[in-house]
Amino acid sequence: GIQVEQSPPDLILQEGANSTLRCNFSDSVNNLQWFHQNPWGQLINLFYIPSGTKQNGRLSATTVATERYSLLYISSSQTTDSGVYFCAVVSNTGNQFYFGTGTSLTVIP
């Protein structure tokens, strides 16, 4: 199956700081999504972004499919941004999501 690597594995930020999370994948993809798993365990959809750039408030994401990576930008971080951020992909030749192991983000006031 496709390999999905996320970096950094852990990140601690002061409230108000900006951050960039990275997702590398090993094969061409038909789907790429970013999720936020909050401290209660819920998986929240952030972006459906197999290619291109999208923005939603303080969050934005860019996927460069030809170079097999995606970036998630968080600006002016807030304590409610804390949790684990997952990247997940569906390869061109497959039909299942492959998840990375996530980036654990802690925002301190």
Partner 1 sequence: NAGVTQTPKFQVLKTGQSMTLQCAQDMNHEYMSWYRQDPGMGLRLIHYSVGAGITDQGEVPNGYNVSRSTTEDFPLRLLSAAPSQTSVYFCASAPRWAGEAFFGQGTRLTVV
- CB closer to partner 1 out of 30 and 76: 30
Of the candidate residues 13, 72, 88, 105, the single one contacting partner 1 (CB under 8 A): 88
Of the candidate residues 7, 93, 96, 106, the single one contacting partner 1 (CB under 8 A): 96
- CB closer to partner 1 out of 43 and 59: 43
Q: Side-chain half-sphere of 45: how many Cα atoms within 13 Å?
A: 5
Footprint of partner 1 on 21-40 (CB under 8 A): 30-31, 33, 35
